[in-house]
Amino acid sequence: MGRLDGKVAIVTGAAPREPGVGNGSAMAILMAREGAKVLLVNRSTERAEKLAADIAADGGEASVFAGDVTNTDDVAAMGQAVMDRYGRLDILCNNVGIGAGGGANRVEDVTDETWDRLVDVNLTTAMKCSRVAVPLMRDSGGGGSIINISSIAGALGLTGGPGAAAYAATKAATHGLTLSTAADYAAEGIRCNCIVIGSVATPMVAAAGAEYRQRRIDMVPMQTEGTGWDIGWAAVYLASEEARWVTGLILPIDGGLCALRAWPR
């Protein structure tokens, strides 16, 4: 028996930009391994098709939906696609997220363009996808689990780097969206939780170079990086019936970094 047998999941930004295991791909692979059918949402289909093939080779079921989740019409079509293909929706992983790019990103450095782009991609996408998912979960009749993805940058002020004002603001706002969604739909059994991701070695981070990675490791009380699998297993738990009474949780998976300060504040 899989922990997610009979359930249907959407994972946005499922395929990482570079080869390797990202947070979204680990969530999709592990959810499929636990019995869920998974809709993999990406703008480019090539990497997502490879992920779907890997999941099929692993004995799971997944298919690709090509769409940009900043686009309202694409998000509506994503909801239609999951119902057409699988007939229900139980799990939504709002994984899509981007950084501001290299260079200084303190508040005095942020351009309007960067601010708007990060709000659009990191925050508004979670609202748009949840807005479409909630009625589908309700119609499916089995409750639901929405999993938002945040960052330690949204929970802690991190010094020693080039700043992350826009990124941190969008990730902190995701905590508010999570709590509000959890409260609004708890009575219907539609749960909403948020994973606060720490220093995880995804392909995106590998591309940032060894010095950047070592600086991130040095901050972590456990003195190691996490992997996409650490995030994927947390998502499996939050999606499963094991977490049936868990909603509104802001869950750090970070090797102890958030333990350095009282939580929640």
Ligand X SMILES: NC(=O)c1ccc[n+]([C@@H]2O[C@H](COP(=O)([O-])OP(=O)(O)OC[C@H]3O[C@@H](n4cnc5c(N)ncnc54)[C@H](O)[C@@H]3O)[C@@H](O)[C@H]2O)c1
Residues assigned a catalytic role: 167
Contact 22/16 with Cβ under 8 angstroms?
yes
| One residue of 77, 127, 204, 246 binding ligand X per CB under 6 A | 204
Answer yes or no whether residue 24 interacts with ligand X by CB under 6 A: yes
Q: How far is the CB of 158 from ligand X (least distance, A)?
A: 11
| One residue of 11, 78, 95, 126 binding ligand X per CB under 6 A | 95
Tell me the window of 67-75, 107-115, 185-193, 206-214 that interacts with ligand X (CB under 6 A).
Answer: 67-75
| One residue of 79, 97, 232, 252 binding ligand X per CB under 6 A | 97
Answer yes or no whether residue 17 interacts with ligand X by CB under 6 A: yes
| One residue of 15, 38, 39, 64 binding ligand X per CB under 6 A | 15
| Burial track 40-79 (b if 16+ CB lie within 10 A, e otherwise) | bbbbeeebbbebbebbeeeebebbbbbbebeeeebbebbb
Please report, as residue ranges, which positions from 128 to 157 form the binding site for ligand X (by CB under 6 A): 149, 151
- How would you class 228 by CB atoms within 10 Å of its CB: exposed for 0-12, middle for 13-18, buried for 19 or more? buried
Tally of helices (H runs) and strands (E runs) in the chain? 9, 7
Comparing C-alpha atoms, which of 87, 114, 119, 83 is closest to residue 101?
114
Given the structure tokens 């998974």, which residue do they identify? 38
Binding site for ligand X (CB under 6 A): 12-13, 15-17, 22-24, 42-43, 68-70, 95-98, 121, 149, 151, 197, 199-200, 202-205
